[in-house]
């Protein structure tokens, strides 16, 4: 399966006005991609599109709620009208809730699933109809929470587990049918974006991402790589991969870590800023890539970089191993 160079692609990005989506749009624009951007806020969309156009990018926008199939269909129709089709579709839009499961209302849980899970389903099935014609890439944003259940973000974890199941099944069905469509699931660890400020918050303190926390550029770089190179799964951050492996092989130990440590590391020592967040609408204004995480943010992940380029990583490891052997022989 071969994918076009990014400068020959039309790329759809949902949730394009904040965090990972915005960072990916900026990075793709620099590489020469034509962009079809979607988000719920018309004002934020036009602001982002205007900034990208100032640097020569070709950008079209659609105000859309990914939970609504007619909105998803308008994204596809606009991409075909403006650019003649789609080469990569990135399902990035997401919402979250901080709070104990028994406290969260049914209305809030269903709204979050409508965005996170059904938004990915709607986008994926619409994208497949277009990509079947000439091939391309479908990239879904999962999470380390696709593998691990995080306390205080239980419904968010459930939605990301559901995305993983759907994405894996879709990949198999497309492969069995022989369609040249690359299906990638991105699994970020905690990322320093405005994500906590957009979440619905049931706690009496401002939510905080549990460490380790990585820069959004690491996620965008992996997404851009998947636009051009077929990948099955990409973990963002060695910490996230470690937790996933620990949960698989030592689940009771991972439960204990979450109970004793993670529960206590998800709140700041300050009152909530905007408890309603943007769960039910674009009420928190945005246009920012980075959040204001109060702790240390890792700017690069050597694990993720090496997973994207395993041959290079293998050469580096071999050279390092050879140097070590030579040193030991001398001694």
Confidence of residue 168 (pLDDT cuts 50, 70, 90): very high
Residue 103 pLDDT: 97
Domain containing 107 equals 6-300
Quickly list DSSP for 144-177. Answer: GGGTSPPTT-HHHHHHHHHHHHHHHHHHHHHHHH
- Residue 120 counted as domain residue: yes
pLDDT single digits (tens) 8-38: 999 999 999 999 999 999 999 999 999 999 9
Which residues lie below 8 Å from residue 180, measured CB to CB, with a gap of 6+? 1, 135, 136
283 labelled catalytic = no
7 DSSP assignment: G
Q: Which of 156, 179, 202, 303 is catalytic?
A: 156
Q: What percent of the chain has pLDDT over 70?
A: 94
In a domain? residue 279: yes
Average pLDDT for the chain: 94
Per-residue confidence at 286, pLDDT binned at 50, 70, 90?
confident
Q: Is residue 305 in some structural domain?
A: no
Total count of domains within the chain:
1
Q: Does some domain include residue 212?
A: yes
CA distance 59 to 65: 19
Q: Determine the pLDDT at residue 309.
A: 87
Q: Is residue 34 part of a domain?
A: yes
Tell me if 216 is assigned to some domain.
Answer: yes
- What DSSP state is assigned to residue 232? S
Spatial distance between the Cα atoms of 126 and 327, rounded to a whole number of angstroms: 57
Task: Indicate whether 306 belongs to any domain.
Answer: no
Query: Which tens digits make up the pLDDT trace of 215-256?
Result: 999 999 999 999 999 999 999 999 999 999 999 999 999 999
Output the CA torsion sign for 319, 321, 326, 331: positive
Residue 142 tokens read as: 């999962």
List the CATH number of the domain containing 89.
3.40.50.720
Residues linked to residue 139 through DSSP beta bridges, in sequence order: 90, 184
Does residue 90 register a pLDDT over 80? yes
- Is residue 282 situated within a structural domain? yes
Per-residue model confidence (pLDDT) at position 47: 96
């Amino acid at each position: 399966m071969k994918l076009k160079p990014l400068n020959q692609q039309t790329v759809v990005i949902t949730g394009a006005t904040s965090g990972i989506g915005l960072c990916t749009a900026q990075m793709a624009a620099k590489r020469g991609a034509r962009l079809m951007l979607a988000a719920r806020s018309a004002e934020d969309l036009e602001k982002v599109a205007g900034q990208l156009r100032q640097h020569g990018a070709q950008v079209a926008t659609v105000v859309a709620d990914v939970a609504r199939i007619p909105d998803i269909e308008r994204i596809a129709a606009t991409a075909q009208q403006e650019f003649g089709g789609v080469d990569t579709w990135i399902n990035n839009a997401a919402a979250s809730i901080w709070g104990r499961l028994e406290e969260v209302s049914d209305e809030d849980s269903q709204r979050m699933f409508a965005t996170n899970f059904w938004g990915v389903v709607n986008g994926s099935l619409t994208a497949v109809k277009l990509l079947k014609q000439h091939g391309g890439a479908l990239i879904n944003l999962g999470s380390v929470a696709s593998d691990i259940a995080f306390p205080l973000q239980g419904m968010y974890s459930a939605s990301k587990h559901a995305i993983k199941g759907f994405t894996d099944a879709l990949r198999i069905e497309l492969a069995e049918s022989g369609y040249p469509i690359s299906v990638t699931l991105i699994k970020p660890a905690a990322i320093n974006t405005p994500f906590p400020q957009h979440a619905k918050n049931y706690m009496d303190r401002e939510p905080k991402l549990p460490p380790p926390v990585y820069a959004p550029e690491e996620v965008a770089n992996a997404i851009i790589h998947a636009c051009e190179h077929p990948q099955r799964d990409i973990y963002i951050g060695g910490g996230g991969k470690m937790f996933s492996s620990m949960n698989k092989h030592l689940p009771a130990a991972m439960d204990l870590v979450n109970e004793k440590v993670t529960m206590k590391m998800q709140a700041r020592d300050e009152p909530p800023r905007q408890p309603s967040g943007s769960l039910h609408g674009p009420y928190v204004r945005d246009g920012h890539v980075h959040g204001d995480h109060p702790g240390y943010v890792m700017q690069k992940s050597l694990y993720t970089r090496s997973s994207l380029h395993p041959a290079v990583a293998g050469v580096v490891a071999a050279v390092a191993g050879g140097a070590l052997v030579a040193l030991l022989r001398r001694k």
